[in-house]
Amino acid sequence: MTNQAITEENKASLKKDVNNSLNKENRSNKENNNERAKKRFRKSNENRSRRGGSNEKEFQEEVLQIDRVTRVVKGGRRLRFRVTAVVGNQKGKVGIGIGKATDVLGGIQKAVSKAKKNIIKVPIIKGTIPHAIKVKFKASRVLLMPGKDGSGLIAGGAVRKVCNLAGIENIVTKSIGTNNKIANAKATIIALQELTKSKKPLSEKKSTEKEEKNKNDLQEKK
């Protein structure tokens, strides 16, 4: 009996020693893995800093509208999500994009990538636009006018979001016609794209050029 008890105690002690050694090995492996992951993260950050990259996003993203769209197919109806997003750096660059996907996150990613491809440059002089402009796009009409210092963004809905992401600080806007956010956003982008750096809009420039040509023709005839 005594010999059997001794052997059982030896077996139990051996099991404890084996378990302790295995636990120590697992802990050491985990520590090594954590250290390796930390080193990789540090190296990636160092490489980014050398290349001049930063963790901050260059463009700010804003979701305008999320719609549920159905398409009738032979087997039934297919449900998808249509996302309209606006992207801008608040330094004169802005763009709009529309993406469709089966889930909302996929649609947002597609819309943001398309908006980054459709970026335009906006001429901003002292925090406002250089001149007034009126644009018609489908059923929406948008009027943009330069604002005085301290007036702020006098706009609403999609027009406000687009102007804010473009970096315009003072502006007076008026949306006439439809309340569709997509149409109003596209109309504002077209209006900002047609702006020129001079204080006179394109229509006034063309009229002055025609008047000068007419005057020159009359002088030549005389």
Q: How far does Cα 67 stand from its chain's mean position?
A: 18
Q: Which residues pair with 174 in a beta bridge?
A: 143
Average model confidence (pLDDT) for the chain? Answer: 79
Residue 188 pLDDT exceeds 70: yes
Which of 3.30.365.10, 3.30.230.10, 3.30.300.30, 3.10.20.30 is the CATH number of 60-201?
Answer: 3.30.230.10
Residue 161 pLDDT exceeds 90: yes
Cβ distance 82 to 67 under 8 Å?
yes
Cβ distance 198 to 139 under 8 Å?
no
Provide the token pair at 68: 């549920």
pLDDT digit string (tens) for 108-160?
Answer: 999 999 999 999 999 999 999 999 999 999 999 999 999 999 999 999 889 99
Residue 214: per-residue pLDDT: 63
Residue 48 in 3-state DSSP? Answer: helix
Alpha carbon distance 135, 162 (integer Å): 15
pLDDT digit string (tens) for 75-90?
Answer: 899 999 999 999 999 9
The DSSP H or E segment spanning 39 is helix 2-51
Residue whose C-alpha is closest to residue 60's, from 95, 107, 84: 95
Cα three-residue angle 180-138-112, rounded to 5 degrees: 55
Alpha carbon distance 128, 142 (integer Å): 16
Residue 73 pLDDT exceeds 50: yes
Alpha carbon distance 104, 98 (integer Å): 12
Residue whose C-alpha is closest to residue 170's, from 125, 215, 210: 125
- Strand order of the sheet with strand 171-177? 133-137, 140-146, 171-177, 153-154
Residue 183 pLDDT exceeds 90: yes
Share of the chain above pLDDT 70, in %: 63
Share of the chain above pLDDT 90, in %: 56
Work out the pLDDT band at 55, boundaries 50, 70, 90.
Answer: very low
Most confident among 15-19, 158-162, 196-200 (mean pLDDT):
158-162
Domain boundaries, the chain: 1-52, 60-201
